[in-house]
Amino acid sequence: EKPRSPLQSATQHFNLFVYYSFFIQSMLHCRIFTSIAFAVVDRCFVVKKKVRTAGSHF
């Protein structure tokens, strides 16, 4: 296995940065979708909690 050249590792870091910034951009575009999804998940958890507490009374 060859030792990696500084250029190679720099390229890898640059690729990581590009992927990361692209990911951030897509997250910003999907922010409305994610907030809706989080609201739905939150509501589901609240319903489950209510059901669980109601079930524990019996």
* Residue 44 counted as domain residue: yes
- 31, exposed or middle or buried, with CB in 10 Å at 0-12, 13-18, 19+? exposed
- Confidence bin at 56 (pLDDT 50/70/90): low
Distance CA 29, CA 27 (A): 5
Residue 20, classed as helix, strand or coil, is: helix
Which residues are CB-contacts of 27 (< 8 A; sequence separation ≥ 6)?
34
pLDDT digit string (tens) for 25-34? Answer: 887 877 888 8
Domain count, the chain: 1
Distance CA 32, CA 25 (A): 13
* Residue 1 counted as domain residue: no
* Residue 23 counted as domain residue: yes
pLDDT digit string (tens) for 1-51? Answer: 677 788 888 888 898 999 999 988 887 877 888 888 889 999 888 887 777
Structural domain of residue 41, as residue ranges? Answer: 6-57
